[in-house]
Structure 1
Amino acid sequence: MIASPPAAPRVSPWVLSAFWFGTAFHWLLLLLVLMPANVLEFVGPDRKGTYVGALTAIGAVMALVIPPLVGAHSDRTGRRVPYLRLGVGVNIAGLAVMGGAVTLLSGMTGFWVYVLGFLLVQFGNNYATAPYSALIPQLVPTEQRGRYSGVMGMLQAAGQLLGAVSAFVVGTLGLPSMVSFVLIAAFLLVPALVTMRGVPDDARPAPSGTQPAPWQSLFAYRPFLWVFVTRVLFALGQYSVQPFLQFYNADVLGQKDPATSNSIMLACIIVASIVSALIGGRISDRVGRKPVIYVAGTTMAVAALLLLIVPGFGAALLLAVVFGLGFGAFTSVDWALGSDAMPSDTSFARDMGIWHVAFVAPQFIGGPQGALLDWGNAQGDNLGYTLVFGVAAAFFILGVLLVRNVPDHQSTRPVTT
C-alpha cells in the first residue's frame, strides 16, 4: 500500500477543467436541444421518442468501447494531449456531417447520414475522454480533489448554461440549425486549446516491467466496484428523462414553443447547479464524499417525482432549480469520488476510461425508455411520462442507498506490479 502520488507540476483547476466546459456546452446543445428537434423533422411526431432513444443508444456503443482501449494505450505512452487533439478534430468533423444532413437532406436518408455524423462525434469525443479523465488523479493530490472536482462541476454547469442560452437565442431569432452546429464546434475547440496548452504533457509511460491489473480485477477492488455501480445508477436516472424533456414541455406542460421552454428549464437547472457545484466539492474535502451524494441524490429523486404533478410551467421551473441544486452537488463530488477509487497509479487513463463507462453505458436506457414513453402515452393521460420519471426517481434513490457501500475517503491504494 502506498499513499497517493505527489502532485505533478501544478496546473490551475480552471485550465485543467476548461475542456470539460466545452464538452458540457457541446452535449447539452446537441443532445437536449438539437437532436430532439432534428429527429422530429426527419421521422415525424409518432415515433419521435423511439428514434431519439435509439440514436442515443447507438451513440453509446462508441462511448463504451473507445475510452478503455484508448486509455490503456495512453498509459503505455505516458501521453495525454495528443489523444485530446485528435479526438477533438474527429468530433468537429462529425458535427459538420450532422449539420450538413440537417441542412441538405430530409427523411430517412437524412436521418442515416445524421446517425453517421453522430457516430463520428461519439468516436472523437470519447477518444479524447479517457486520457483527459486521467489528469485529475494524475496531477491532483487526494486532499485537493474535491476542490478540483468542484471547479470541474461548476465549469460543466457553466458550459451547459451557455448552451441553453445559445439555444434560446438561436430559437428566438429563428436561425437555422447549422448555426448551432457551428457554435458547438467553436465552443468545443477553444476550451480544448486552453487545456492542451496549459497541461504538462511530458511522456511518463508506466515503468518497465510494470503491468496494470487485468481490467476484470478492477471490480474485485471494493472502492472501484461500488463507485462504478452507484455512478451507473445515477446516470440511469439522468438518461431516463434527459432526452425527453423537450417532449415533456410540449405534452405535459402544454408549451407552444417547447424548444424555448426546454431551454429555459435547462437554464434554471444549470444556474442552480453552478451555485451548489463549487460549494459541494469543498465540503466533500472536509466531511467526505458520501454525505454530499446522499443529499444530492435524494433531492434529484424528489424533484423528478414532483415534476409529474406540477400545476404549470412556473412551478416546473421552481422544481428545476431544486433538481439543479442536487445535480450540481453530485457533479462536484463525482470526479473526486472516482479519482479516489483508482486502484493503481500505472493505469489511470485505462481505469478512468472504464469508470467513464459507468456514465456512458446507461445511455442505452434511452432506447427502452423512449419506447416506454411512446407506449405509455398511447394509453392516454401522458402515462408515458409518469412511467419514465418514476423509473428515474427509483434509480436516484437506489444510488443513494448503495453509495454507503463505498469505503470512506481513500488515502491509500494497492499498486499492481
Structure 2
Amino acid sequence: MTLPLSSAPGAGLPQPRLPSPWTLSAFWFGTAFMWLLLLLILMPAEVVRFVGDADKGKYLGLLGGIGAIVALVLPPIIGNYSDRIGKRLPLIRLGLIVNLAGLAVMGYAAAAMGGLAGFWVYVIGFLLVQFGNNYATAPYSALVPELVPTEQRGRYSGVMGMLQAGGQLLGGVGALVIGLLKLPDVLSYGLIAGVLLISALITLRGVPETQIKPNPEARAQRPSIAQLFAYQPFLWVFVTRALFALGQYSVQPFLQFYAGDVLKQANPGTATSILLMAIIAASIVTALIGGRVSDRIGRKPVIYLAGTIMAVMAIALLFAPNFYVAVGIALVFGLGFGAFSSVDWALGSDAMPSSSSYARDMGIWHVAFVGPQLIETPQGALLDWGNHQGGNLGYSLVFGIAAACFVLGVLLVRNVPETVRAVRSKAVT
C-alpha cells in the first residue's frame, strides 16, 4: 500500500533546534518514577487499608482496570487532537497540572480518609492521575519522530529507555527508604509530585514547540485507521510490540507469588523487590548502548539478540535452584530487556507512515503496550489451575507463554523494514 509518506521530521517546514536526548526524555524519567511507586508500592498498601485483606484483590483489580481503560482509550484521542491543532507543549502542560491535582487527591484520601468512602475518593484521584498523565504523554510521544532525524533515533531511544529505567530504580530505592524510615505515605505522593514536576519542567523548558501548522489539506491526506494498519511497517511494529508486552505481563504480576512458592522465600515482597531492582539495574547498562548500536547496524539485530535473551531467561527462572541464582538470571534478563527498550521507541518512530498524524499514530501504537496488561486476569486463572494440578505446573505454563511470546516477537520483527540502513545507504550514494 502507498501512503503520503513524509517521515522526515517537520518535512517542508522550518526545522526547530534539536534538543539533547536527556532534555527530550526527562519527563519519561518522572513518569516512570511515578508509576513504579503507585502501582507496585502505594496502591496495593492503600487498598488493604481502605477495604481490608478479604477484598483487597477485587478492589485492587477494579482500580487497575479503571486505569487501564483510560490508558487504552485516551492517547489516540488526544494525539489526534494534538495533530489537528498543531500543538504539543500546551497539552503537555495541561496534562501535567491535572496529573499533579490527582496526586494531591490521592494523598489526601490516603492521609485523611478510610473505609469505602476513602477508597472512592482515592479512585477519583487515580482517575485524574491517569487522565492527566495520558493527556500529557500522548502529544509528548510524538516529539521523537517529529524532531529527531531517523539516523539518530536509536541514540535518543536509548537515552529514553535508560531514563525510564533510572526513574523506576529511583522509585524502588525511594520505596525502600520510606519503608525503612516508616514515613507517612502522604509524603510519597509529595515526593512523586516533586520528581514529576522537575522532570517535566526540564523537558518543557528545553524542547521547542514543533513547527506544525494546522493544514486542512494535510489533514485530508492523513491515513485512516484502516490505512494505518494496512501499512506493513506499522502493522508489524504494532504486533511485535504487543507480543513483547504480552511476554512481560505474563510474568511480572506473578513474581511475588513465584518468589514465595518456587523460591521459598520467607519474605516474598522483599525478594520480588530485589529481583525487580536487578532487572532494572541491568537494563540501564544496555539501554544506552543498544540504541547507539542500532543507529549503526540497524534496529532488528538488537531486537533479535534482546528477545532471545529474554526468552531463554524466562524459562531459566523455572529451573533456578535458589534465590541467588534467580537474581543472576534476573540480571541477564535485564540486559536483554534494556537492549529491547533502547530500540523499541526508535523502531516505532521509524514505522510512522505520515508526519501529519504522529501523535495519533504513536498513541495507537502505545495501545500495543497497554492492552496486553489486561492479560493478567486470564493468566492468573491459568496459574491457579496449573498449580492445583501439582508440581508448580502453573508457573511452567505462564513462564512458557512468556518465552513463546518473546520468540514469536523476534521471528515476526523480521517483517519490519530496516529504515536506518535505507537512510544510511542513501547518504552514501
TM-score normalised by L of structure 2? 0.88
Q: Report whether the alignment pairs 1:188 with 2:192.
A: no
Q: Report whether the alignment pairs 1:84 with 2:96.
A: no
Which residue of structure 1 lines up, in the alignment, with residue 136 of structure 2? 128
Of 197, 215, 224 in structure 1, the residue corresponding to residue 225 of structure 2 is 215
Which residue of structure 2 lines up, in the alignment, with residue 271 of structure 1? 281
CA distance in structure 2 between the aligned counterparts of 1:258 and 1:52, rounded to whole angstroms? 19
Shift of 1:393: 2.0
CA distance in structure 1 between the aligned counterparts of 2:48 and 2:228, rounded to whole angstroms? 41
Which residue of structure 2 lines up, in the alignment, with residue 408 of structure 1? 418
Return closer, same or farther for 1:43/1:302 CA change in 2, 3 Å cut-off: farther
Q: Pick which of 55-64 and 275-284 moved more.
A: 55-64
Alignment root-mean-square deviation, CA: 2.4
Shift of 1:386: 3.5
CA distance in structure 2 between the aligned counterparts of 1:55 and 1:256, rounded to whole angstroms? 28
Return closer, same or farther for 1:159/1:40 CA change in 2, 3 Å cut-off: same
Cα-to-partner distance string for 1:160-183 (whole Å, 9 max, x where unaligned):
111111111122222233232222
CA distance in structure 2 between the aligned counterparts of 1:119 and 1:269, rounded to whole angstroms? 29
Of 295, 311, 315 in structure 2, the residue corresponding to residue 305 of structure 1 is 315
Q: Report whether the alignment pairs 1:98 with 2:102.
A: no
Contact 1:164 1:264 in 2 (8 A): no
Which residue of structure 2 lines up, in the alignment, with residue 145 of structure 1? 153
Of 245, 253, 265 in structure 1, the residue corresponding to residue 263 of structure 2 is 253
Aligned residues: 412
Q: Pick which of 33-42 and 210-219 moved more.
A: 33-42
Please list every run of 5 or more consecutive structure 2 residues that lacks an aligned counterpart in the other structure.
Answer: 424-429
CA distance in structure 1 between the aligned counterparts of 2:401 and 2:58, rounded to whole angstroms? 17
Shift of 1:42: 4.7
Which residue of structure 2 lines up, in the alignment, with residue 346 of structure 1? 356
CA distance in structure 2 between the aligned counterparts of 1:381 and 1:33, rounded to whole angstroms? 30
Which residue of structure 2 lines up, in the alignment, with residue 174 of structure 1? 182
Counterpart amino acid of residue 315 in structure 1: V
Q: Report whether the alignment pairs 1:290 with 2:300.
A: yes
Shift of 1:346: 0.9
CA distance in structure 1 between the aligned counterparts of 2:77 and 2:343, rounded to whole angstroms? 26
Contact 2:16 2:211 in 1 (8 A): no
Cα-to-partner distance string for 1:170-223 (whole Å, 9 max, x where unaligned):
222222332322222221111011101111015522434222221221001000
Shift of 1:255: 3.3
Cα-to-partner distance string for 1:135-163 (whole Å, 9 max, x where unaligned):
00111000000011111111111111111
Return closer, same or farther for 1:294/1:107 CA change in 2, 3 Å cut-off: farther
Shift of 1:45: 5.4
Return closer, same or farther for 1:44/1:308 CA change in 2, 3 Å cut-off: farther
CA distance in structure 1 between the aligned counterparts of 2:364 and 2:391, rounded to whole angstroms? 41
Counterpart amino acid of residue 151 in structure 2: E
CA distance in structure 2 between the aligned counterparts of 1:269 and 1:13, rounded to whole angstroms? 23
Contact 1:52 1:366 in 2 (8 A): no
Counterpart amino acid of residue 282 in structure 1: R
Cα-to-partner distance string for 1:346-367 (whole Å, 9 max, x where unaligned):
1111111111111111121123
Cα-to-partner distance string for 1:366-416 (whole Å, 9 max, x where unaligned):
23233444454555655443333232222222211211111122658xxxx
Of 391, 396, 399 in structure 2, the residue corresponding to residue 386 of structure 1 is 396
CA distance in structure 2 between the aligned counterparts of 1:217 and 1:402, rounded to whole angstroms? 20
Contact 2:70 2:131 in 1 (8 A): yes
Return closer, same or farther for 1:123/1:60 CA change in 2, 3 Å cut-off: same
Counterpart amino acid of residue 364 in structure 2: I
Q: Which has the larger radius of gyration?
A: 2
Q: Pick which of 290-299 and 174-183 moved more.
A: 174-183
Q: Pick which of 182-191 and 170-179 moved more.
A: 170-179
Of 200, 205, 216 in structure 1, the residue corresponding to residue 213 of structure 2 is 205
Cα-to-partner distance string for 1:68-93 (whole Å, 9 max, x where unaligned):
11111111222111111111222222
Shift of 1:47: 6.3
Contact 1:373 1:388 in 2 (8 A): yes
CA distance in structure 2 between the aligned counterparts of 1:62 and 1:398, rounded to whole angstroms? 28
Of 326, 330, 345 in structure 2, the residue corresponding to residue 320 of structure 1 is 330
Q: Pick which of 393-402 and 190-199 moved more.
A: 393-402
Determine helix, strand or coil for the equivalent of 1:347: helix
Determine helix, strand or coil for the equivalent of 1:209: helix
Contact 2:94 2:136 in 1 (8 A): yes
Contact 1:146 1:285 in 2 (8 A): yes
Return closer, same or farther for 1:333/1:348 CA change in 2, 3 Å cut-off: same
Which residue of structure 1 lines up, in the alignment, with residue 78 of structure 2? 70
CA distance in structure 1 between the aligned counterparts of 2:96 and 2:330, rounded to whole angstroms? 31
CA distance in structure 1 between the aligned counterparts of 2:260 and 2:183, rounded to whole angstroms? 21
CA distance in structure 2 between the aligned counterparts of 1:49 and 1:240, rounded to whole angstroms? 18
Determine helix, strand or coil for the equivalent of 1:200: coil
CA distance in structure 2 between the aligned counterparts of 1:384 and 1:107, rounded to whole angstroms? 35
Contact 2:106 2:125 in 1 (8 A): yes
Please list every run of 5 or more consecutive structure 1 residues that lacks an aligned counterpart in the other structure.
Answer: 413-417
TM-score normalised by L of structure 1? 0.91
Q: Pick which of 381-390 and 237-246 moved more.
A: 381-390
Return closer, same or farther for 1:114/1:390 CA change in 2, 3 Å cut-off: farther
Of 14, 17, 20 in structure 1, the residue corresponding to residue 25 of structure 2 is 17
Contact 1:56 1:364 in 2 (8 A): no
